[in-house]
Amino acid sequence: MEKVDRKTVVRELMSMHPLFRKKFLNRPEPPFEGMSKSQRHVVMALNLYPAMNMGQLAVEANVSLQQITKTVNALEDMGYVHRYIDRANRRQIWVSLSEECQEIIRSTCDANDGLLVESFASLSDEDMLQLQEAVRAVLRIVNKMEDRPLQDLTAKEDKK
């Protein structure tokens, strides 16, 4: 069996993220119109998790620690997020989407799905079946990975 260049596979996989972001996610459509890019990233990140602390949110949304407070402040002013202090560790600040924002996101999902379906209309049924199989294969394989810090992955790679 041919030896796999794991770094190449990882780079190719990660190249999909900016492509999808560019083609589908960076459109400033409802509920994101009028928001900055960093605000949209924070809302998208919080939509994946029930709550995150400010540090986690900065990493997940790819926003600097200096910018995250300003971004969360603006989103709080819009009524999109709630901020609260951890009872066990009062230095820890948690952020979650407001019910209003969650409802806006839920109500626009069907419309966005429709827009995405239209985006894929130029693809043949054969292309769509191949894409579906590829997505399912990627998800099946990636879901086998253990959750661990990225530095552990690179450390193992360097030993090979």
Sequential pLDDT tens for the chain (160 residues):
678 787 887 787 777 766 666 666 555 566 677 888 899 889 988 988 889 999 999 999 888 988 999 999 999 999 999 999 989 998 899 999 999 998 888 877 777 677 778 878 888 999 989 988 988 888 888 878 766 544 444 444 444 4
CA distance 28 to 112: 12
Between CA 73 and CA 18, with CA 66 as vertex, the angle to 5 degrees is 90
In sequence order, what are the residues at sequence separation of 6 or more whose Cβ sits closer than 8 angstroms to the Cβ of residue 15?
none
For 38, the 3-state DSSP assignment is helix
CA distance 122 to 145: 34
**Which pLDDT belongs to residue 156?**
43
